[in-house]
Structure 1
Amino acid sequence: SGAGGAMVAHSMLKHNHELKIIILERGDHTDSLDMTSNEVDMLARLYADGALQLSRDFNFQILQGSCVGGSTVINNAVSFNLPAAVLKKWNDAQLYDAGLDETRLNQSFQYVRQLLKIKKQDENAPGQKFPFLNKGSAPFKAGIEALELDKPPNEFNVVEANIDKCFGCGYCNIGCRYGKKLSMLNSVLPDLQRDYPKDNIRIIAGCEVDKLHTSGKDITHLSASFKNGRKLDIRAKKFILSAGAISSSLILLRSNVGNAQVGKNLAFNLGSPITAVFDKVINAYEGLQISHYFLQNPSRGYIMETWFNPPVSQALTMPGWFDDHFNNMLRYNKLSSVGILVPTEGNAEIRNGGLFKRDIKYKPTAEDLKKLGDGLELAGKIFLRGGATHVMPHTLDYLELTEDNLHLIRQNVLKPGGITLGTGHPQGGNKISKDPKKGVVSPEFKVYGYNNLYVVDASVFPSSIGVNPQLTIMALADYAAEFILD
């Protein structure tokens, strides 16, 4: 019921009002009014595995929403179009041969932007009553300008997002109680239920798909389970997997459906933050958790986004141990952070194995870690030029750095387990391609070898796109709808 599933349901009904669609959601339904500032409770209720989904070696955290509305409920709503260079690479016949129609896809991007009111976040916009941009972005902006990194062709700007008249509470990642973030929970799904009869659109929450059942080249039905153990079988003419880059692959693997490429070539936006310390109050916890981005052109292989968390979440990632950690939390209101995102190589794999039958095999490549180290070092320099007394990468060894020793970041990044690593953006595993030897789904999003099975989510990405992926997922879902209806 997230970015892929909700949007493809919306766009299919847009074209054919007579359709009957059932949406199954592994997570529970939590109404916006039931979302609170109790971070521990919200993390447990809204995130897959209570925000403890980890790679096989426990060194890499993969955050995904598990609730009605999916990750759109708990993300920062940051919206980028698919970079032109990435689409060109996807469609390159010598590489992925995705076969996507650029003109049609651009129309889908425009449609989704209009539908969800995606726009640059502006404190001076008509009707905006409160300042809401992250206050921690001001010293970062000062450092960018001091280093003259704001000059074209570089991009330093306020993010675009599907947020309307934000209150600036700073709790974006545990749901929006006020309905200002136009997630699938607060926009597309209730609109579908309002605009169509109950028989046309049903959402069943707390229900996980166990297996797809086949007869020859057709999916005949699926079996699913509720948390209380009750079973459910559903028969349909067509089946669409939109369970996200991890779970869609797992469902195919559990069902022994799809070719040998299923679950392979998984990629991420590899992320790690750096925290800056100031000798004055910053109050970075006020406002959007992500409000600005910085992208160098030509690309250095990473993007920076200003970033900060409410107390519990910030404490979970705060550098330092024992007294160092305690003292850092005491100066919580004098800190600011930036996250570095690196589009990784597609060297991860999902397996239906391990203790929880969700085995994610991943080890960052040396080249990806080098890019991360470069980005963290530059972000540290930017903060120091913006007035920070020192900066702290989120390394295993506690470091308080100035410009004289920023180079220590790189050697710590390259140590196994030397730095906090994670992502909210898994991508790939079921690549789209004209060639079944390269991909799992066709350019029409149909799973190779099956007549009535489709995949519409980030798992079809041939590679990591290097920016926040939700808008691309939604646009691809709108794009895919007409193929599924044919």
Structure 2
Amino acid sequence: MLRKPFNPFEAAIWRRLAETLFVEPAQMAISPRQVVDNLQRLFANIEGDTPRDTALSVIATWVVLGGPIWHFAPRPFRIWRIERRLKNSRIDLFQDMARIRGIVYAGYYGHWLDQDDENASDAASEDANRANPVFNAIGFTLPRHRARAGTPDDPLIEEHVGNDLPHTVFVGEDAIPDSVEVIVIGSGAGGAVAASNLADQGYEVLVVEAGPYMPSSRMTPNEAHMSSSLFKDGAIQTTRNRDIIVFQGRTVGGSTVVNNGICLRLEREGETHPDANDVLATWRALGAGVEPQALEESYCRVEQRLGVHEIDRRLGRNNGTRLLDGWNAYRAGSTDPLDQRAISGWFRKNWGQKTEPNHCVSCGYCNTGCPYGRKRAMPESLLRHATLSARRKARILAHAEVAQIGWGDRVIDGRRVATSVQVMLPDGRGKTIRVTKGVVVAAGTIASSNILSASGIEGTGKGISLNIACPVPALMPDPVNAWDEDQMATFIDRGDFLIESHFQPPMSMASLVPGWFDEHFRRMLNYNRLASAGALFPADRLGEIKKGKLGFELKPTDLAVLRRALSTLTKIHFAGGATEVYPALLHGETLRAGMTDAEIDEFYWKHIEEPDDVVLSSSHPHGGNAINADPAKGVVDLDQRVHGTTNVLVTDASVMPSCIRVNAQLTTMAMADRVTHGRRVFG
């Protein structure tokens, strides 16, 4: 029986919001009651405090809107009150409340038929949704129902389960060992690389992951279910001030399961703007020098193991190509030196070549786990090697959260020795596992900082950086069908910011398309005519973890970069033929073709005064446990060993001492490889 996290009173508020935020209910493809049912299912699947916190938020919003007076008023009055109290407010709390509309959109555009049958195959589940009224209304076609020629350049969308991990590699809750040589905390990019290298050296390795394992055979294009299953806090985690959404995977494989496989180096000829910040030079100046040759060798090893290569043009034939065409047209008329020296191209990824059996079929669902088994995320690559092919096969304990590291007697020079790890199981039981060699911490910037802090390590969780993204959809005169390709295919490195093509399936795209009420509804009816890209800009060492949650305050200079980036992207859209551009602003303003460059620049300076004015997100938190030769300036030494300890390493993105400005996946892997490949790090 479905557990309903929202009581009847809370459900009634959600229903009234659904009746207000779209169009007149008679024009909706599903009823407001069905929207609420979808939200009940979505939040019932999210672990932790998020469902209760969200219920409290919707009640607070209801009170701010006027409580019973608003609730029982006609729709025009309800709209007027939302516009006055939420949409047009300059009060931070009310601006934060305005973001609740994205949850309501998820309940509508995340509609899925026959979702109560958990045993249904992916094919059967998709077939049941041929008649999905929401998808049909916006013209979206599920992957298996798309017209494909079946050629290498246009492959049929079929499931490939050959790389799923067998159940034998997992440790059951009642079979957790009392002792193991090495525990790796976290199974994402840094943890999987470390586990694979250490298992190859013959260490007995147990990988502990807070999230469950979701094989591709259990993944479907049901966005709501996948988001609530695979992301921390159901993909609605934010910074403390709610200014920035922070996406993090919470599953075996970590964020590599829910990302786009982008593999960018810190610097690469033909891929990096020549005027971009020299990241390694910045690190050296901070006292965190990393030997370039060692990092280069690790990049090469990781790229070879994952088969990293530039993606096929087929994977970005609609939206990806359109961004590059618009960019070339825009740059031809620009006199800005940064534009003229910019680098553009196609992403390099760890997807298989199109000649391989698990090659990408461009279904467009990268960010909610590939339902067709076509990824080379950590479960399908390095974790598979560690558990099935390594010299000494590693094991995985899934759905077990690490509370802290335990310490034994200090060695003669005063350094601490890790001797145990305490894990918590979903039912609340605890288990202390003894370690005889060492511990690798790789749970991600936020979780690793919290674990180290709980274990008595000082100075953690400071100097956290983000690569912050802001989406800008655009309306094209003719159908684009951008959903029928890889979500992210092409990029422009402009030096002070990047621009990346991206497009999402209906539920996720609805949260990116700005606008309110009937206007948002109309924009989504033009789903097939939308193209989309996003600006990505670095925010360097502005974050700190307090009471377990990330605080992050942008500076005026960061907002200036954001305005320039959005202005440039808007001009690119218009150069590519867009008739309207919809930047992700809280008020949902529209820019129209024919505006001058000066008018576009002025628009963004006028409409972005503070972070609450715009939708911002990040999938790349890094820093918090920075490397540094000086223990007073960093948590780990240059070999990523925690200062003052003998046998604790950190191998995730939290060791990065400053913002790296590009996707962090490949560099996280290379940094982990740098300190674990061919080394007996634990004696």
Classify the TM-score, shorter chain.
over 0.9
CA contact (8 A) 1:139 1:387 kept: no
Written as runs of structure 1 = structure 2, the 5 A alignment for 1:233-272 is 233-236=432-435, 237-257=437-457, 259-260=458-459, 262-272=460-470
**CA distance in 1: counterparts of 2:468 and 2:620, whole angstroms:** 8
Superposed CA deviations along residues 258-308 of structure 1, whole A, max 9, x for unmatched, are x32x10001100111111111210111111110000012xx2x11110011
Q: CA RMSD in A?
A: 1.7
1:153 aligns with 2:347: no
Written as runs of structure 1 = structure 2, the 5 A alignment for 1:28-427 is 28-83=212-267, 85-92=277-284, 95-123=285-313, 131-133=314-316, 135-148=318-331, 153-164=341-352, 165-196=359-390, 200-215=393-408, 216=410, 217-236=416-435, 237-257=437-457, 259-260=458-459, 262-296=460-494, 299=495, 301-351=496-546, 353=547, 358-402=548-592, 403-404=595-596, 405-406=599-600, 407-427=602-622
- What SS does the aligned partner of 1:474 have? helix
- What SS does the aligned partner of 1:36 have? coil
Superposed CA deviations along residues 299-330 of structure 1, whole A, max 9, x for unmatched, are 2x111100110000011221001111101110
Most deviating of 248-257 and 472-481: 248-257
CA contact (8 A) 2:554 2:611 kept: no
More RCO (CA 8 Å, sep 6+): 1
Unaligned segments of structure 2, at least 5 residues: 1-186, 269-276, 353-358, 411-415
C-alpha spacing 1:451/1:485, structure 2 compared with 1 (3 Å): closer
CA contact (8 A) 2:559 2:611 kept: no
**CA distance in 2: counterparts of 1:484 and 1:99, whole angstroms:** 20
Most deviating of 106-115 and 149-158: 149-158
| 2:113 alignment counterpart | none
1:134 Cα deviation after fit: 5.2
CA contact (8 A) 2:231 2:251 kept: yes
| 1:128 alignment counterpart | none
1:412 Cα deviation after fit: 2.3
Most deviating of 402-411 and 183-192: 402-411
**CA distance in 2: counterparts of 1:225 and 1:134, whole angstroms:** 46
C-alpha spacing 1:99/1:148, structure 2 compared with 1 (3 Å): closer
1:142 Cα deviation after fit: 2.2
**CA distance in 2: counterparts of 1:196 and 1:115, whole angstroms:** 13
Identity rate, percent: 34
| 1:6 alignment counterpart | 192
C-alpha spacing 1:256/1:412, structure 2 compared with 1 (3 Å): farther
- What SS does the aligned partner of 1:156 have? strand
CA contact (8 A) 1:134 1:285 kept: no
1:458 aligns with 2:644: no
| 1:127 alignment counterpart | none
CA contact (8 A) 1:24 1:203 kept: yes
CA contact (8 A) 1:432 1:445 kept: yes
Q: What amino acid does structure 2 have at the position aligned with 1:188?
A: L
Q: What amino acid does structure 1 have at the position aligned with 2:681?
A: I
Most deviating of 83-92 and 182-191: 83-92
CA contact (8 A) 1:55 1:62 kept: yes
Most deviating of 423-432 and 433-442: 433-442
- What SS does the aligned partner of 1:185 have? helix
1:447 Cα deviation after fit: 0.5
Instruction: Report which of the two has the higher share of helix.
Output: 2
TM-score (norm 1): 0.92
CA contact (8 A) 2:449 2:624 kept: yes
Most deviating of 373-382 and 207-216: 207-216
**CA distance in 2: counterparts of 1:436 and 1:412, whole angstroms:** 44
1:440 aligns with 2:635: yes
- What SS does the aligned partner of 1:132 have? helix
Q: What amino acid does structure 2 have at the position aligned with 1:207?
A: A
CA contact (8 A) 1:12 1:485 kept: no
CA contact (8 A) 2:465 2:540 kept: yes
1:485 Cα deviation after fit: 4.4
- What SS does the aligned partner of 1:253 have? helix
**CA distance in 2: counterparts of 1:140 and 1:200, whole angstroms:** 45
**CA distance in 1: counterparts of 2:475 and 2:231, whole angstroms:** 30
- What SS does the aligned partner of 1:265 have? strand
CA contact (8 A) 1:377 1:410 kept: no
1:90 Cα deviation after fit: 3.9
Moved over 6 A (4+): none
**CA distance in 2: counterparts of 1:373 and 1:312, whole angstroms:** 27
**CA distance in 2: counterparts of 1:317 and 1:266, whole angstroms:** 25
**CA distance in 1: counterparts of 2:658 and 2:340, whole angstroms:** 27
- What SS does the aligned partner of 1:348 have? strand
**CA distance in 2: counterparts of 1:452 and 1:134, whole angstroms:** 49
Q: What amino acid does structure 2 have at the position aligned with 1:108?
A: S
Superposed CA deviations along residues 186-238 of structure 1, whole A, max 9, x for unmatched, are 111122222147x7411000000011122331122111111111222111120
C-alpha spacing 1:203/1:50, structure 2 compared with 1 (3 Å): same
**CA distance in 2: counterparts of 1:245 and 1:278, whole angstroms:** 39
**CA distance in 2: counterparts of 1:238 and 1:134, whole angstroms:** 48
**CA distance in 1: counterparts of 2:639 and 2:540, whole angstroms:** 25
**CA distance in 1: counterparts of 2:611 and 2:196, whole angstroms:** 44
Q: What amino acid does structure 2 have at the position aligned with 1:280?
A: D
CA contact (8 A) 2:482 2:503 kept: yes
**CA distance in 2: counterparts of 1:35 and 1:182, whole angstroms:** 15
**CA distance in 2: counterparts of 1:40 and 1:167, whole angstroms:** 22
Q: What amino acid does structure 2 have at the position aligned with 1:213?
A: G
| 1:126 alignment counterpart | none
Give the number of aligned pairs: 464
CA contact (8 A) 2:407 2:420 kept: yes
Q: What amino acid does structure 2 have at the position aligned with 1:222?
A: V
1:449 aligns with 2:639: no
**CA distance in 1: counterparts of 2:325 and 2:250, whole angstroms:** 38
Superposed CA deviations along residues 142-167 of structure 1, whole A, max 9, x for unmatched, are 22121236986321101100011210
CA contact (8 A) 1:266 1:348 kept: yes
TM-score (norm 2): 0.66
Most deviating of 206-215 and 465-474: 206-215
Unaligned segments of structure 1, at least 5 residues: 124-130
- What SS does the aligned partner of 1:345 have? strand
